[in-house]
Amino acid sequence: MAPSPPVDLSLPVTEYRDCKSLEEADETVKKLFSLESFPGKKTGHHLRNIMREEVQRHPLDVGSMEALIADQTARIRRLQEIFAAHPRNRVLKVYLKELIDKRKCFLKYMRRWDYRRFEWLLEKLDIVYKAHPAEYVLVGRNKFGELCFICGQHCINSLPRQAITTDTQQLLSISQVRLSLFLLNSEFFSL
């Protein structure tokens, strides 16, 4: 995914963009109402508006799927830049992952409903969509249980059958020897 486009910080804030008295004002007043003197949150709002305007169906469209996905994409890109500067911020990381998952869900529905619009949106917003896998393999948090079972199944499936049969025969013979030794020891100590 491409980073967010560079922003001209001399532009006025979104709320004062159409203000005619600001256009006629002095340079210091323009600078006070520019993105440069406002917090970074306003720059994020500006980027979201730009990205939303690219895909809007009409000027007041803020609730269509395209507008919502564009809004989320702008947020994700802005948060990724912040996360690159502060990689230890775990709350931001969780929020970013939740936002990415939510957008992926919206893209999945959009793909199902209107594939042509979905492809157009991916191209317009420069997004790469990776579909969910057909099957999910659930691995529990148990340290040894399910994970070891899955690893064991993978190892068994990757080994040739002949090696498995020889290994099992050797293990059976070893276990029989140990069992006979155990029985002898138990008879000896019981006397």
Domain positions in the chain are 14-125, 143-187
**AA letter at 142:** N
Mean of pLDDT values over 148-159: 58
Backbone angles phi, psi at 118, to 5 degrees: -60, -50
Q: State the average pLDDT for the chain.
A: 82
Q: Are 52 and 67 in contact (CB under 8 A)?
A: yes
Which pLDDT does position 140 carry in this prediction?
56
The pLDDT assigned to 36 comes to: 82
CATH of domain 14-125: 1.10.287.10
pLDDT top residue among 103 and 133: 103
pTM: 0.65
Cα separation, 160 vs 131, whole angstroms: 33
Query: Binning pLDDT at 50, 70 and 90, where does residue 162 land?
Result: low
pLDDT at 30 over 90: no
For 34, phi then psi, to 5°, come to -90, 170
The pLDDT of residue 112: 94
pLDDT for 96 equals: 96
Does 166 or 49 have the greater pLDDT score? Answer: 49
Mean pLDDT of 112-119: 95
Token pair in block for residue 189: 């100590």
Q: Find the mean pLDDT for residues 118-138.
A: 86
Q: How confident is the model at residue 15 (pLDDT cuts 50, 70, 90)?
A: confident
